[in-house]
């Protein structure tokens, strides 16, 4: 496994995206257990991307400008939708303990967050294939191995984010202005991610 792959994977996972924001919101609103469930759910949401990469769908998306744009703008629309629901105190990213969510709700939303996460789509069909030979019997096992490393790092780093958020939840929730600021910051972050994706090149 190349150092370049590990370094880039760490950067992708650590950089705040929809999954990180979702895990942070879970930790802030409901504590460490909810954040751990959110981290696990976001990790499960990577599986469809891994399957797409393993079956060759990723290569098709990468070589087709139309398919790339379709995925890209679907991701932009989803990010803007998340920004809107977060701004309006709705959806799975609400930083508010008055409306606790069940484990099933946290899992369902977390999986959906990463299934529709455009950052993951780009990672799996533009970056990961560069480290896998196009031919040979070891191509599929290697892709699955690299994908598994990505998933493990995602689970660990997201869990760390969530535990850190849970540690300061009381200080945050006891200050309504801080909650309002956090919610609007999350919404602005989704808008920024959407704009960056909208201007991304294939």
**What is the per-residue pLDDT across 83-115, written as a single tens digit (0 to 9) for each?**
777 677 655 455 555 566 788 988 998 898 888
Q: What is the pLDDT of residues 54-87, one digit of tens each?
A: 776 555 555 656 666 776 677 677 777 777 776 7
Higher pLDDT, 126 or 21: 21
The pLDDT value given to residue 127: 77
- For the beta carbon of residue 39, count every other beta carbon within 10 angstroms: 26
Q: Categorize the per-residue pLDDT at 19 as very low, low, confident or very high, splitting at 50, 70 and 90.
A: confident
pTM of the model: 0.73
Q: What is the pLDDT of residues 150-178, one digit of tens each?
A: 999 999 999 999 999 999 887 776 676 76
């Amino acid at each position: 496994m190349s150092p370049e792959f590990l370094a880039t994977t760490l950067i992708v996972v650590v950089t705040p995206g929809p999954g990180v924001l979702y895990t942070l919101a879970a930790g802030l609103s409901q504590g460490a257990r909810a954040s751990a469930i959110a981290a696990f759910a976001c990790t499960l949401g990577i599986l469809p991307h891994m399957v797409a990469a393993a079956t060759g769908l990723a290569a098709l998306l990468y070589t087709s400008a139309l398919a790339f744009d379709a995925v890209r703008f679907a991701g932009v629309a989803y990010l803007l939708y998340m920004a809107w629901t977060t701004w309006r105190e709705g959806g799975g990213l609400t930083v508010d303990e008055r409306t606790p969510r069940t484990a099933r709700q946290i899992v369902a939303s977390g999986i959906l967050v990463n299934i529709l996460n455009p950052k993951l789509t780009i990672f799996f069909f533009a970056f990961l294939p560069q480290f896998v030979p196009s031919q040979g019997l070891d191509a599929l096992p290697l892709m699955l191995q690299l994908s598994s490393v990505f998933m493990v790092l995602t689970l660990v780093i997201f869990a760390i984010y969530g535990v850190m958020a849970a540690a300061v939840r009381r200080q945050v929730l006891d200050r309504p202005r801080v909650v309002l600021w956090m919610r609007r910051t999350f919404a602005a972050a989704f808008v920024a991610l959407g704009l960056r994706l909208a201007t991304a090149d294939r």
